[in-house]
Chains A and B, each alone.
Chain A
Amino acid sequence: MISVKTTQLTKKFGSFTAVDAVDLEVYKGEIFGFLGANGAGKSTMIRMLCGLLMPSSGEALIDGLDIYKESELIKKRIGYMSQKFSLYNDLTVAENIEFYGGVYSLDKKLIRSKKEEIAVSLNLKEEMKRLTRDVPVGLKQRLALACAMLHDPKIIFLDEPTSGVDPKVRKDFWNIIYDLSEHGKTVFVTTHFMEEAEYCHRLSIMQDGRIIALDSPENMKAIHNEKTIQDVFIKLIKRQNNDEI
């Protein structure tokens, strides 16, 4: 089943084309890696798919909803977690959950049960009452994900979710991503850690607003005859840069 489909999706800012006629199909339950150099157009693409930014031209369906006409409905079906974790550091852990529950207009009863659910799944007791700035980064990361998913979205966007966390915390977080995928959630991940790219079901590499490669990590490595995705990435981006010069 197709979860996200774009046809010739384009976004221009003045004379600058940030996203250039992108065709993409992502399936339900897929972990889709969204790679590219800084400034390649990943964030613009994601902001359009989240219904936050109107495209200049082209089509996009998010869970069957039209990006132009149904952006408000789209927002209810998607979750977004940014690399900055977007939690309020001067609120307690519980208050952050309540706040996000309010943002997603969940009723009080549901917020209360979500809070208990999160406390159990993250193994929290005393931490619930602690200021978010004082909890360890690994916990903060899981909390940010839980808050981004309070409204039970079908598609979740993770924007560099593992920046600045150590290898152990990163691996633990990927176990959660696999779990989401098994429960039928579609997961978009952007990352600069190429060993994480290897964990995705399929990957796209973006450069100058276009998708220059799209395949499973295994196929990508085989096609380009490289041992790691890191090597494939560097090869493709460098080739592209040389073509321009």
Chain B
Amino acid sequence: MIEIKGVSKSFGDIIANDNISLQIMESEIVGLIGPDGAGKTTLMRQLCALSHPDQGNIHIDAYDTVKNQYEVRSMIGYMPQRFSLYPDLTIEQNLLFFANLFNTPKKGRQERLEQLYKFSNLKPFQNRQAGKLSGGMKQKLALSCNLIHTPKYLFLDEPTFGVDPVSRQEFWELIKQLRDEGLTVFVSTPYLDEANTFDKLALIFNGKILAYKTPEKIVDSYSDQIFVMQSENYDYFAKMQNVKYLYLFNKELYISFSEAPRQEEWQTWLDNKVINGYNQKQITLEDVFLMQNKHIVSQI
């Protein structure tokens, strides 16, 4: 289990992580979702014992990430945002290089390699240089390099950056297979369609965790109604006190009210051509994400 207790981290005046507490259970895929600059990478690096909290502490199993950083590192794999393989080494050489880095015993190494080849389908390419692999294959190799020492916990920072949809689907199938075998995975991603398939999501905004639940519960617990109006009268609605959220996208206004308009109000807007039509929108994870941008009404 990973136990994060009251973790804060600042860089100068910027509070990157603000009193974060989370418990991550074993054999789960937990997604960290938030805008650029919300503090995702900062948290991720602290979990990997690469930087230390200003306040609070993190335990991975019994180990403190500050006091026992070497024990922690031997239990984890970490794929940073722009993971760099050695392009002039072959797949096999890259894997062996990481095996040496992690100091895995020589005995059993070949078996582990074969397991990873089997699971990643990289065996036929073992002598190909990493620089000559497709984006999806590079991703699988990077993943394999971080699994060579059979970690219990895996940290992935935007692992599917620039990878096409088919390779992405294959990548997540591999991760889910590992989860089912007991691996715990903590991952940040800007792809909300991926996030929808994780076991739990932690929403992070301005360094704070706003929600920590299953994706379904995050969407269900959002009580506001969102309407889509065929209208470009942004300014008209932006002035209304009653409007909590307003966003213009491709000639339609997405809006939520603190109190839903009465039937007469809708009719007046329609009659006066303020809007040309409206319907209630089924709320998605993207809506929940977009609605966290509180300043959205005053924008544009």
Contacts and interface: CB of A to CB of B under 8 A. Distances in A.
A137 B135 CA distance: 23
A237 B166 contact: yes
B134 to A, nearest CB: 5
Nearest to A240: B166
Contacts of B249: 171, 174-175
B162 A160 contact: yes
B286 A230 contact: no
B206 to A, nearest CB: 13
B167 interface: yes
Contact of B164 (A38, A165, A169): A38
Nearest to B160: A192
A153 interface: no
Interface residues of A, number: 31
Is the interface on chain B under 10, 10 to 19, 20 to 34, or 35 or more residues? Answer: 20 to 34
B293 interface: yes
A194 B190 CA distance: 13
Interface stretch (B33-41, B52-60, B111-119, B257-265): B33-41
Interface in B136-152: 136
A171 B165 contact: no
A82 to B, nearest CB: 12
Contacts of B192: 167
A191 to B, nearest CB: 10
A195 B35 contact: no
A233 B166 contact: yes
A163 B250 contact: no
A11 B181 CA distance: 46
Contact of B34 (A38, A83, A136, A166): A166
A164 B193 contact: no
Interface in B160-201: 161-169, 190-193
Given A167-B190, A195-B193, A37 B36 contact: no
A174 B192 CA distance: 17
A222 to B, nearest CB: 20
Given A167-B192, A192-B162, A192-B165, A136 B37 contact: yes
Contacts of B248: 175
B290 A199 contact: no
B212 interface: no
Contacts of A233: 165-166
Given A165-B36, A194-B193, A174 B250 contact: yes
Contacts of B36: 136-138, 165-166, 169
A45 to B, nearest CB: 15
Considering residues A37, A137, A238, which has the most beta carbons from chain B within 10 angstroms of its beta carbon?
A: A37
A38 B165 contact: no
B289 interface: yes
A220 to B, nearest CB: 14
Contact of B166 (A136, A193, A238): A238
Interface string B1-45: 000000000000000000000000000000000111100000000
Contacts of B92: none
A42 to B, nearest CB: 10
Interface in B87-139: 134-136
A234 to B, nearest CB: 6
Interface of B: 34-37, 81, 134-136, 158, 161-169, 190-193, 247-251, 286, 289-290, 293
Given A39-B135, A170-B190, A234-B165, 6 more contacts: A38-B136, A137-B37, A160-B162, A164-B190, A169-B35, A171-B247
